[in-house]
Amino acid sequence: MSDKPVLSFKFRLRHPGFELALAHDMALAGITALFGHSGSGKTTALRVLAGLEKGADGWVSYDGEPWQTPAHENVFVPPHARAIGYVFQDARLFPHLSVKGNLDFAAKRASLRDNGTDFETVVGRLDLEELLTRRPDSLSGGERQRVAVARALLTKPRLMLMDEPMSALDSRRKAEILPYIAKLPEAFGVPVIYVTHSVDEVASLADTMIVLSKGRKVADGPVADTLARIDLGPTTGRFEAGVVLEATISSHDVEYHLTSLDIAGTKFTLPLINASPGTNVRLRVRARDVTLATEKPVSTSSRNIMEGHVVEIIEEPDTPFAETLVEIPGGRLRARITRRSTAELGLKPGTKVFAQVKSTSLTGGAIIER
């Protein structure tokens, strides 16, 4: 039997022109992404779990402890009694208090539950020492969100809920705060439910994901498996669609500024990254950056050529495109190619192919240290 706490819920919430109906049981560990387009119900679902939406009819329980039951049973645990840390899209810091004042306020309101989270640990882990005397209006967006995360942690939560905390940040600020969020479960022993509409953030942070569309759950499971599903294209988005592969840094080529990864014995080359050989990383490969051939390419500039076979093809009627899933050593790749290419190459499930990925496409958020 798992020793992970289980969050269970089944509820329905109606707003004018929209209905949210969800049911799910989840063992809380690591980071779970609640993913979907704008208007899919992500934030509303998070608010129901936090106890901020009293209009929801149904039940929510944490490890067998009822937080909410149907209206006729009249059980509703208020937000402060659920021992939840909540991080909003905007930091919502008290403007008249310094960073230390904001953190002290949270610490004083913490429950008696001892989860090993103390002021010094939180400040140290989130690198806030130099910010303690400053006011919120003097902080960057990323710094404010780090303080918001610290404030939530100091309430000693059993569960962290994060509602698109990076939606207002530019790419540089996102890159700064990502490593802090990624390490929350390991550093503080607290699971995280993370709301986002960004595939990049899911690939960077999450271990598992729940996909919402129009107020309903349409998929759930490990991130690598779920992002590889080509039938979810309309929901996960086609332009940023792709897969996640687990890899290990094998070496660096300093002369040419390249890094080599090992993926189940296959070499993968990409622009130089700042991490030591032996480091485990997560590699995101977008479908639009993958090309396919039925014979091994020669005299090509592509540094990454992997032999595999076609698993699935979904053609998109009335468009030029076809989504193709390819099995390779260590995982799967998605390739977004034209329907004409599919026909001319004679692609079908089982066809042997060689997948090519340009090294220069693997930059920015493509590599996440694990």
pLDDT at 115 over 70: no
What pLDDT score does 369 carry? Answer: 61
H or E segment at 342?
Answer: helix 339-345
For 78-105, what is the mean pLDDT? 93
What pLDDT score does 364 carry? Answer: 47
What pLDDT score does 200 carry? Answer: 86
Neighbours of 43 (CB within 10 A): 19
For 134-159, what is the mean pLDDT? 95
Task: Give pLDDT tens digits for 297-348.
Answer: 988 888 899 999 999 999 988 899 999 999 999 899 999 999 999 999 999 9
Q: How far is CA 75 from the centre of its chain?
A: 32
What pLDDT score does 136 carry? Answer: 95
What pLDDT score does 370 carry? Answer: 58
pTM: 0.89
- How far apart are alpha carbons 242 and 334 in whole angstroms? 6
Q: Which two tokens stand for residue 86?
A: 């909540």
pLDDT at 216 over 80: yes
Residue 261 near residue 283, CB atoms below 8 Å? yes
Neighbours of 48 (CB within 10 A): 24
Task: Give pLDDT tens digits for 259-297.
Answer: 999 998 889 899 998 889 999 988 889 999 999 999 999
Q: At what angle do helices 99-108 and 141-153 cross, to 10 degrees?
A: 20
Of 356, 264, 347, the residue nearest 310 (C-alpha): 347
Task: Give pLDDT tens digits for 321-332.
Answer: 999 999 999 899
What pLDDT score does 193 carry? Answer: 98
Of 288, 284, 282, the residue nearest 324 (C-alpha): 288
Write the DSSP symbol of residue 37.
-
How would you classify the pairing of strands 31-35 and 208-213?
Answer: parallel
Please report the domains of the chain, with CATH numbers, ordered by start residue: 6-227 (3.40.50.300), 244-369 (2.40.50.100)
One DSSP character per residue, 88-127 reads -SS----TTS-HHHHHHHHHHT--S---S--HHHHHHHTT
Strands of the 352-357 sheet, one edge to the other: 290-293, 352-357, 304-315, 321-328, 331-338
More confidently predicted of 217 and 237: 217
